């Protein structure tokens, strides 16, 4: 899983980036998964690998910023020939007058409305990939969830949190609710975004102490 998912993505990016950078344009679209940032039972190996791809995507995006090259990722959800037997009881996204799951071409939208299938086919994800790979797209370093016609940006949020430079573990226990609350969360675009918030907290604490 690690070799195919992480190494495969890493070596492919390493292979194409020199050519993209040399020509001053290019678009990389990696594949991550909500099994990583959302979690899924029995999929620890898969989720860890896909989360690594998300981290690689974000880091490479910083490295290519301003070069004309973009690096983004898609987190797709679809019923495929690979996953339908393992996760969906063999249900296909095809339907006919006799019902869903027979492999014939049909209206997957109707099957979803009727609750016969949990998600649509890969064809519903393809437009997201084409959008991010198109020459006119300048978006860089973002991840998009795409499934069954719904496309949404995936963010990694950091809450406002709780601050005391002299805290101990008991303080964290007592303030767990504040620490866990997202509230006015920060949608970080780089590690420096969160670090930049910390120095002003010392000034605020000095003002309160005074």
User: Tokens in use for 86?
Assistant: 């393992």
Note if 46 is an active site residue: yes
Q: Closest Cα to residue 83, out of 35, 29, 26? A: 35
CA distance 33 to 177: 29
Taking residue 65's Cβ as centre, other Cβ atoms within 10 Å add up to: 12
- 46, 88, 162, 185: the catalytic one is 46
Sign of CA dihedral 57, 59, 160, 164: positive
| Contact (Cβ atoms closer than 8 angstroms) between residue 52 and residue 60 | no
CA distance 110 to 116: 9
Taking residue 134's Cβ as centre, other Cβ atoms within 10 Å add up to: 9
Question: Which residues form the catalytic set?
Answer: 46
């Amino acid at each position: 899983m690690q070799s195919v998912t992480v190494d495969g993505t890493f070596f492919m990016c390493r292979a194409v980036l020199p050519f993209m950078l040399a020509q001053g344009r290019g678009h990389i679209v990696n594949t991550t998964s909500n099994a990583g940032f959302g979690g899924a039972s029995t999929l620890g190996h898969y989720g860890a690998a896909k989360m690594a791809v998300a981290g690689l995507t974000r880091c490479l995006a910083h490295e290519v910023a301003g070069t004309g090259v973009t690096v983004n990722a898609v987190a797709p959800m679809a019923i495929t020939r690979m996953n339908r037997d393992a996760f969906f009881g063999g249900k296909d996204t095809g339907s006919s007058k006799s019902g869903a799951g027979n492999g014939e071409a049909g209206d997957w939208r109707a099957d979803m409305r009727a609750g016969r299938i949990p998600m649509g086919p890969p064809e519903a994800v393809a437009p997201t990939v084409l959008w991010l790979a198109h020459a006119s797209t300048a978006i860089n370093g973002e991840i998009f969830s795409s499934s069954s016609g719904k496309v949404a940006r995936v963010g990694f949020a950091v809450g406002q949190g709780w601050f005391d430079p002299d805290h101990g573990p008991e303080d964290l226990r007592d303030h767990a609710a504040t620490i866990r609350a997202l509230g006015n969360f920060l949608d970080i675009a780089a590690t420096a975004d969160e670090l930049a918030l910390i120095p002003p907290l010392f000034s605020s604490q000095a003002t309160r102490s005074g």
